[in-house]
Structure 1
Amino acid sequence: MITLEKRAAKVGIVLEKRQLAKPPTVRVGAALDISGSARDLYQSGIVQETHDRILGIALKFDDNGEVDTWTFTERFNRLPTATPDNYGSYISDYVLHADIDKWGGTKYAPVMSDIISFYFRSPAARPAGEKRGFLSRLFGGASEEAAPIPAAPANGIPAWALFITDGQNPRADREQVRRLLNDSKKFPIYWSLVGVGDPSEFGFLQELADDLPNVGFLHMETLDVPDEQLYEHLITPEFCTWVRGK
């Protein structure tokens, strides 16, 4: 917990630099690529460390200090909410030792659609038969198809989706991704698309960031960097400008 508090303090330093010392309340979400090519990142502990650092961000932005978390391959899993209580063990407990989809291929659209629905679709608008409750959050979020975009937001709280991937999605997925992110402009959501590894993998993500005002892209050779460097990368001037307007 001392480490988490120190990380939150480092987030505060970056926010001071960005002239956003007292940011508005923002719900923080993390979507983590768990395709086969990312296996080493999980087994080395780098993903656990990265998720822990995102929790440090949430302490400054989210009113509950929580991180809504997804993993994705071709399918996705919406996982239990990360809190300070499961800091340090979240990836081990809810990902590596859980019965979820992992080590497959890569599709972005299904999980992106679920993120939008999670934040901006009211419970009353859920389709009949949709699984709910704890087991749903742990196992029932998997889907191969993207759900429809909701017609109106369930609340006005902005959301910040940190979408971390180490590889490109197939061409067949890209048209739907572009449509989803373009349609998401009507909601207060900002997408930070983080490409890790070979920069040649991420031309499509850069295109999305260039074209859409609520989408940012950043490339990192590795996530194994000091806390301050990671926070400088993630809390971009563009994101700060966006969130000031919310």
Structure 2
Amino acid sequence: MKRLLRNVLRSRWVQRAVGFLAAEFLRLVWLTNKFSFDPPGVYELVEPQQPVILAFWHGQHFMTPFIKTKESHRGKVLISRHRDGEFNAIAAERLGIGTIRGSGDHGSAFHRKGGVSAFKEMVRALADGYNVALTADVPKRSRVAGLGIIMLARESGRPIMPFAMATSRFIRLDNWDRTTINLPFGRGVLMGNEPILVPPDADAETMENLRAQLEAHLNEATRRAYAKVGRPEEAGHD
């Protein structure tokens, strides 16, 4: 039975159906939540610095395609090659976001998971004027920023923009990344934080300091986002 279910989930038509439904559900969530922006002029601050690297936490990603509000906001997102990634990729593309497939993990599985080719593709995308979005934490280590995104900023010369998106109505799963499923008919917020610049000659100590800074900025943005919509982040479900 498990093998049959696995084969069904791997079938292209099921993946496309799930991705389509996920995209349309997220569109409903976006349209039925009253979103605010903090700082209020966040787009005026970010647009002159494009292309940028958009950083957010694992499990808090579902609403991120909607940060693109203009045609000039060209964007691509890093999505894993795992089976679950297929659903996310199909949904993202339906919502107008390009995809880069590979792993953000810079551990022992980096080469096997397509990390090297994905890293090069992200550098090229930034050079071509695309904003690139990716999770800052590596798989199975929730809310611990990895060095991969710092390396990307050093290589590309582009600033990292940490942010969080939250809605007042949600369900939070009890898994490693505390996946949050946003729900319709509430309030939402996009919470930004100060950009992080990585010098092209950054040494190991500087890289580690900036990694810790990014982690702190993301935690602060996430905490403030949930506070803004009146829901403490530790709340489990709507």
Q: Is the shorter-chain TM-score for this pair beyond 0.5, marking a shared fold?
A: no
Compare the two structures and name the one with the higher helix fraction: 1
The normalised TM-score by structure 2 is 0.36
